Protein backbone atom coordinates (compact mmCIF):
# COMPACT_ATOMS: atom_id res chain seq x y z
CA UNK A 1 0.00 0.00 0.00
CA UNK A 2 1.42 3.38 -0.99
CA UNK A 3 1.01 6.40 1.22
CA UNK A 4 1.55 10.00 0.27
CA UNK A 5 3.20 12.64 2.39
CA UNK A 6 2.21 16.28 2.14
CA UNK A 7 4.95 18.75 3.06
CA UNK A 8 3.95 22.36 3.45
CA UNK A 9 6.08 25.41 4.11
CA UNK A 10 4.88 28.15 6.37
CA UNK A 11 6.05 31.74 6.21
CA UNK A 12 8.08 31.51 9.42
CA UNK A 13 9.87 28.27 8.65
CA UNK A 14 13.55 28.17 7.74
CA UNK A 15 14.64 26.82 4.34
CA UNK A 16 14.84 23.05 4.76
CA UNK A 17 14.53 20.16 2.38
CA UNK A 18 14.30 16.42 2.53
CA UNK A 19 17.48 14.59 1.56
CA UNK A 20 17.54 11.14 -0.03
CA UNK A 21 17.69 9.41 3.35
CA UNK A 22 14.64 11.28 4.65
CA UNK A 23 16.45 13.43 7.22
CA UNK A 24 15.82 17.17 7.36
CA UNK A 25 18.85 19.32 6.67
CA UNK A 26 19.41 23.04 6.39
CA UNK A 27 20.25 24.52 3.01
CA UNK A 28 22.46 27.58 2.95
CA UNK A 29 22.43 30.28 0.33
CA UNK A 30 25.39 30.71 -1.99
CA UNK A 31 26.37 33.94 -0.25
CA UNK A 32 26.41 32.26 3.18
CA UNK A 33 28.54 29.39 1.83
CA UNK A 34 30.96 31.80 0.18
CA UNK A 35 31.32 33.87 3.37
CA UNK A 36 31.95 30.72 5.43
CA UNK A 37 34.51 29.44 2.88
CA UNK A 38 36.53 32.67 2.74
CA UNK A 39 36.45 33.00 6.52
CA UNK A 40 38.15 29.59 6.72
CA UNK A 41 41.09 30.74 4.56
CA UNK A 42 42.59 32.47 7.61
CA UNK A 43 42.29 29.40 9.88
CA UNK A 44 45.37 27.45 8.80
CA UNK A 45 45.24 24.96 11.66
CA UNK A 46 41.87 23.68 10.47
CA UNK A 47 42.92 23.14 6.86
CA UNK A 48 43.67 19.67 5.56
CA UNK A 49 46.79 20.29 3.51
CA UNK A 50 47.61 16.57 3.27
CA UNK A 51 44.35 15.81 1.48
CA UNK A 52 44.74 18.87 -0.75
CA UNK A 53 48.25 17.72 -1.74
CA UNK A 54 46.85 14.24 -2.43
CA UNK A 55 44.22 15.78 -4.71
CA UNK A 56 46.80 17.86 -6.59
CA UNK A 57 49.09 14.89 -7.10
CA UNK A 58 46.33 12.54 -8.22
CA UNK A 59 44.80 15.12 -10.55
CA UNK A 60 48.05 14.75 -12.50
CA UNK A 61 48.60 11.00 -12.04
CA UNK A 62 45.12 9.49 -11.89
CA UNK A 63 42.21 11.93 -12.19
CA UNK A 64 39.74 9.04 -11.97
CA UNK A 65 40.61 8.53 -8.29
CA UNK A 66 39.85 12.17 -7.53
CA UNK A 67 36.59 11.94 -9.45
CA UNK A 68 35.57 8.82 -7.51
CA UNK A 69 36.38 10.62 -4.28
CA UNK A 70 34.09 13.52 -5.26
CA UNK A 71 31.37 11.07 -6.31
CA UNK A 72 31.57 9.44 -2.88
CA UNK A 73 31.38 12.86 -1.19
CA UNK A 74 28.33 13.74 -3.27
CA UNK A 75 26.59 10.51 -2.28
CA UNK A 76 27.41 10.71 1.42
CA UNK A 77 27.29 14.44 2.16
CA UNK A 78 25.16 15.63 -0.78
CA UNK A 79 27.78 18.20 -1.66
CA UNK A 80 30.27 18.39 -4.51
CA UNK A 81 32.74 20.92 -3.16
CA UNK A 82 34.98 20.63 -0.12
CA UNK A 83 34.48 22.96 2.81
CA UNK A 84 38.23 23.25 3.18
CA UNK A 85 40.03 26.01 1.20
CA UNK A 86 43.44 24.29 1.53
CA UNK A 87 43.48 23.39 -2.18
CA UNK A 88 42.88 27.02 -3.13
CA UNK A 89 45.63 28.20 -0.76
CA UNK A 90 48.17 25.68 -2.11
CA UNK A 91 47.26 26.46 -5.71
CA UNK A 92 47.60 30.21 -5.07
CA UNK A 93 51.02 29.74 -3.45
CA UNK A 94 52.16 27.57 -6.35
CA UNK A 95 50.94 30.07 -8.96
CA UNK A 96 52.56 33.03 -7.16
CA UNK A 97 55.83 31.11 -6.85
CA UNK A 98 55.73 30.21 -10.51
CA UNK A 99 55.08 33.83 -11.50
CA UNK A 100 57.89 35.12 -9.25
CA UNK A 101 60.35 32.57 -10.62
CA UNK A 102 59.46 33.57 -14.18
CA UNK A 103 59.93 37.27 -13.32
CA UNK A 104 63.33 36.55 -11.75
CA UNK A 105 64.48 34.48 -14.74
CA UNK A 106 63.35 37.13 -17.24
CA UNK A 107 65.09 39.91 -15.32
CA UNK A 108 68.38 37.98 -15.45
CA UNK A 109 68.28 37.68 -19.26
Top-confidence residue, 108 or 12: 108
Measured between alpha carbons, how far is 105 from 9 in angstroms, rounded to an integer?
A: 62
Q: Which residues of 2-41 are buried (b: 16+ CB within 10 A; e: fewer)?
A: eeeeeeeeeeeeeeeeeeeeeeeeeeeeeeeeeeeeeebe
- Residues 40-69 have a mean pLDDT of 89
Measured between alpha carbons, how far is 88 from 84 in angstroms, rounded to an integer?
A: 9
* Confidence (pTM): 0.57
Amino acid sequence: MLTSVHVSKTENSSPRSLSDNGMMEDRHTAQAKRRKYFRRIFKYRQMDFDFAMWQMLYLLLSPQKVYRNFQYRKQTKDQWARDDPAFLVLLSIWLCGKKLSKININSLL
